[in-house]
Structure 1
Amino acid sequence: MSVTAPLSWRSAAVGLAVREGEHGPCADAAAHYLAADLTMAVAVVHATGTRPEAARLAPLLAESAVRAAAQRGALAGVLHAALAVSDPGPEGDGPDATIALAVRRADGHTTTAWAGECRVWSWDGTALTLHSTGHDHSGVRPGGTPAAEHGVTLAQATPALVGQAVIPAGRTLVLATPGLHRQLAADTRARLTAAHVSTPQRLADALSQAATATPGTARADAAVLVLS
């Protein structure tokens, strides 16, 4: 299964692609939301847990995150989504997720926030720059380590633990779930971005379809969102 959803609104253009891996149903999702003041919020989510539950949860998390973020900012969007997975349930094994989110105001000011392994890159015309520092799934290290240096998932997200960054003006953003950076080499990501950056939907499709399984592994779910 592959989902695409292009959107253009004045100076903002969004390309979105979600590709199911070999162990469906798909537990990755992407969403975008344009507020009344023309603030655009975009997000990708990778949910974990039992497949049916994770597949139901991922799009709900993405949608709730972007709607909150467009009104209250990137950090608020991540924390709003975190409420849905903050309780582990009676068995203590409730679902979790990772997320990357970006907010672009009408004046072009862009911020991003993330929890977990989802990624945020920007394209400056010549190179992809990674802004998110991939939190792994190892949990929070003690001793006040900065959020950028330790593992944190959405269920663990707090204001102090969510990674945040300001994106330089005029750049195209690429947000992706772990299925992209785990199964698509950095040079291939850069080459495809250079070739298709002028058309966000074409770039999202190209990146999501290019990610392939490595020997001994299965093809993973992947969600890609491009904002230009």
Structure 2
Amino acid sequence: MITTRPGYPRWHTASAQGPRSLNADAVGAYAAAGGPGIAFALADGVGDDPAAARAARTAAAAAARTPVHKGPVEAVLAAQRAVREQTLGDAVLVVAMPAAHGGYRIAWVGDARAYSWDGTTLGRLTTDHTLAEFFRARHQPVTPRMEHVVTTSVRTAQAHEIGTAETTSPGLLLTSDGVHKPLTAGGIRAVLARPGTGAAELVEAALARGGSDNATALYVEPLEVDSTTVRFPVAA
């Protein structure tokens, strides 16, 4: 799905169930009237069941609707409150909110990712909160299974454990691990470098590379364009 509004960046989102029994990924986007821009969120439910899917939808919606002036960390905490109150499931989450002087402020838990993209250079903004990264940072051996074990999540994270980053780039990419694990940075760059490509092509490429998970991408194009508005739900 491609969404545009006059004065806002053009952005795309795409999601595929892949070989899982259901799609437990979700995205959220919200622009408050008179606000500084669009807040984006992408959540990936922990597990392959209805509780995981509900947790992802709940987290993405609550995060995206958090007032921008409160910042992305508060958006993660708002998602946490909603998940704890409304679901039995859990999710990982990445949130991007407009920064005062352009670009985005980022917050995340788990292994959902954010990248900057200027049309040429892809920059990774997040570090996975996984057992693998924990041991890798300490120069200890890592097994493949550790890549899939998260050390923070929406339900469990303490405020000080929430990751933060900032970018001045107007181009932004949020992904679930069903996209960035099969593709890697080089694969993502190769897809986005092709003219006219975006979220749908990233998801298709991830599944074509043997992705075994739900695959979801939210892509904000580097340049603003003038176009018509296409209605998009807060979470899907």
Q: When the two structures are superposed, what TM-score results if normalisation uses the length of structure 2?
A: 0.77
Amino acid at match of 1:124: D
Paired residue for 2:104, among 105, 110, 125?
Answer: 110
Instruction: Give the percent of matched residue pairs that are identical in Structure 1 and Structure 2.
Output: 29
Does the CA contact (< 8 Å) of 1:208 and 1:223 recur in 2?
A: yes
- Structure 1, unaligned stretches of length 5 or more? 142-149
Question: Match of 1:19?
Answer: 16
Gaps of 5+ in 2: 136-149, 222-236
Contact 1:8 1:14 in 2 (8 A): no
Post-superposition CA distance 1:31-89 (Å, at most 9, x none)? 111112232100110011451222233222111110015352111111111123447x8
Alignment of 1:158-197 (within 5 A): 158-167=158-167, 169-196=168-195
Determine the structure 2 residue equivalent to 1:156. 156
Structure-2 separation of matches of 1:214 and 1:83: 36
Aligned length: 206
Q: Distance in 1 between matches of 2:130 and 2:5?
A: 33
Letter in 1 for 2:81: L
The Cα offsets for residues 180-220 of structure 1, whole Å up to 9 and x where unpaired, read as: 11111321210111124xx5xx40111011102767xx621
Q: Could you say which residue in structure 1 is the equivalent of 2:146?
A: none
Question: Displacement of 1:170 after TM fit?
Answer: 3.6
Looking at structure 1, the residues matched to 131 and 155 of structure 2 have their Cα atoms a distance apart, in angstroms, of 11
Match of 2:217 among 221, 224, 228: 224
Distance 1:127 1:208 in 2: 20
TM score, norm. by length of structure 1:
0.79
Greater relative contact order (Cα < 8 A, sep 6+): 2
CA separation of 1:203 and 1:214: change in aligned 2, threshold 3 A: closer
User: Which of 98, 110, 120 in structure 2 is aligned with 1:126?
Assistant: 120
Residue 206 of structure 1 aligns with an amino acid whose one-letter code is: E
CA contact (8 A) 2:203 2:216 kept: yes
Q: Deviations over 1:120-175 (max 9, x none)?
A: 0001332211010011168x99xxxxxxxx931112222211000111x2431000
Contact 2:117 2:169 in 1 (8 A): no
Cα RMSD between the aligned structures?
2.8
Aligned residue number for residue 59 of structure 1: 57
